[in-house]
Structures are given as C-alpha cells and as structure tokens.
Homo-oligomer: A and B are copies of this chain.
Amino acid sequence: MDRIESPDELRRQVRAGAFRRPTTGHAPGFLQGNLAILPQAFAADFLAFCAKNPKPCPLLGVSEPGDPRLPALAEDLDIRTDVPGYRVFRNGGEPERVGDLRALWREDLVTFVLGCSFSFEESLARARIPVRHIAAGRNVPMYVTNLETHRAGPFGGPMVVSMRAFAPADAIRAVVLSERQPLAHGAPVHFGDPAAIGIRDLADPEFGDPPVMAPGDVPVFWACGVTPQVAIRGARPDLAITHEPGHMLVTDRPAEGAGIGL
C-alpha cells in the first residue's frame, strides 16, 4: 500500500471509511497520538494521572467536555470519525471494536491525546539505527513491569514498557535521540537485566509480538502508551474509548520541536 504523506489527506480517508489499518509509516514527520476518551467525572483524575506520569502519558491535547474537536492538534479534526479504529470499554470489561463514535457520543465525554513512540522510531530510522521488530515486520514487544505508576484517584497500576534491542553503540545513540522527544516517551526507563524491573520472560511479552534480538544486543525499555490503557481498565469507568492498537490519531503537529510550542 502506498504511503500517505499528508496528515489531513490521511484523516480524510479515515473519515470516509477508506482507511482502517495501522498508521505507522504514514504522514512521516507528524506527531501521532494515543487516544483516551472518558466521562467528565473521571477527567480531572486522569489529567492528574498524566501529569504525575509524563513518561508513559505525555499529554498532547485535551478537549472541552462534549466537544469532539481538538483544533490545537488539527483544525479539521473530529475525534468521533478521524481515528482508523476504536475500542469501547464498558465498566472495565472486554472491548467492543467500532469504526466510528457518532452513535456513542455523549455530551460529558472528554478526549485525551497522548504521545506515542512512532516519532521516536522515525528519528532512529533517520539515524540509520536498525529497529529489529520493524525490519522483521512485527509489532513491538510490551511488558508489564513491577514499576508502579504514581496513582491519581482510581487511576494507577503498573508501568507497561516497550522493548527495542540494539548493539550497545546504537543503544547509546537511541538513548540520546529519544531523550530529545519527551512527547514520544522520552529517554528509556531501563536497559539490560529484564528481571530488575519484574519482567519474568523476555521471550513472552504481555502485549505485541515476541522480540527480535541479534547476538550481543542489549534490551532497552521505554515507558509505553499501553500504561494508561491498563490504568483506565482498572478504574472501571462506565464508558471509556481508546484507539485500536497501532491505529493512531494522526495530527498536523510536526514531530520535530513538538515540545517547544506547548
């Protein structure tokens, strides 16, 4: 499939129902975001949770209650139709998959958009640092750790991390490059021994695909956007909506220098 260069062209296709797949690799150079939609009764606590846990939950934008727009992220954005796949959770139960939110929308819903790792992975690619899972056509492996998030009201629980494996010299460059992107989870939280952060088996991640590692590789662990999803399920709101994994909101905000204008 061809790469779609422009974020508004991509949102137009999503809105028309013509794009229902992962957004990775599309609209390069623009921030993509994780989605969390919650009833207003949970919004203040979730905002505090993001503020207390900026590495797993870097906040890109928050809407007014009931307003499906987020003009700071894209002028034309309608959050009910512009994400290529949604998951709807009721009372913390199993998710229902839907293609748009128009039938579900309520006047008390607040939208949160959180940074994801795609723009950081783009900067690794520009630096010619091999990213094993992308080269292998796999999803990144993700693990539940024994690192606790900072609790805010009903939101808490373990930090989830994603793992990328590198030769040590590339790992050093990946640390430097990722630290420059605090809205894409920033610098890693750990590297080396998985057991030191409570990961029992590197070969068996809780989310994503098994890892790809070359001889001499060191595993490097970043805070992951699945962390707020786990926290939201644990809080058991009557209604919560997230994106389908990999099916991100694509914004008009350039990834480069994204933290400067906040």
Nearest CB in chain B to that of A188: its residue: B172
Decide: A168 and B191 in contact? CB cutoff 8 A. yes
A176 proximal to B (CB < 8 A): yes
A218 proximal to B (CB < 8 A): yes
Nearest CB in chain B to that of A190: its residue: B168
Q: A216 — which chain B residues lie within 8 A by C-beta?
A: 193, 196
Q: A169 — which chain B residues lie within 8 A by C-beta?
A: 189-190
Given A175-B176, A176-B176, A168:B187 Cβ within 8 A: no
Q: How far is the CA of A168 from the CA of B189 in the complex (A)?
A: 8
A161-199 vs B, Cβ < 8 Å mask (1 yes, 0 no): 000000011011101100100000001111111001000
Q: A172 is contacted by which of B173, B187, B196 (Cβ under 8 Å)?
A: B187
CB distance from A66 to the nearest CB of B (A): 41
Q: A189 — which chain B residues lie within 8 A by C-beta?
A: 169, 172
Q: How far is the CA of A188 from the CA of B191 in the complex (A)?
A: 15
Decide: B176 and A196 in contact? CB cutoff 8 A. no
Nearest CB in chain B to that of A173: its residue: B187
Nearest CB in chain B to that of A217: its residue: B192
Q: How far is the CA of A193 from the CA of B175 in the complex (A)?
A: 18
Q: How far is the CA of A172 from the CA of B179 in the complex (A)?
A: 9
Q: A192 is contacted by which of B168, B179, B190 (Cβ under 8 Å)?
A: B168
Q: A190 — which chain B residues lie within 8 A by C-beta?
A: 168-169, 172
CB distance from A241 to the nearest CB of B (A): 34
Q: How far is the CA of A188 from the CA of B172 in the complex (A)?
A: 7
Decide: B218 and A192 in contact? CB cutoff 8 A. yes
Nearest CB in chain B to that of A179: its residue: B176
Identify 20 new A-B residue pairs, CB closer than 8 A, beyond the known A172-B175, A176-B179.
Answer: A168-B190, A168-B191, A168-B192, A168-B193, A168-B196, A169-B189, A169-B190, A171-B191, A172-B187, A172-B189, A172-B190, A172-B191, A173-B187, A175-B176, A176-B176, A176-B187, A191-B218, A192-B192, A192-B218, A196-B216
Some 18 contacts from A to B, beta carbons below 8 A apart, are A168-B190, A168-B191, A168-B193, A168-B196, A169-B190, A171-B191, A172-B187, A172-B188, A172-B190, A172-B191, A173-B187, A175-B176, A176-B176, A176-B179, A191-B218, A192-B192, A193-B216, A196-B216
Please give the residue numbers on chain A whose beta carbons come within 8 Å of chain B beta carbons, in ascending order. Answer: 168-169, 171-173, 175-176, 179, 187-193, 196, 216, 218
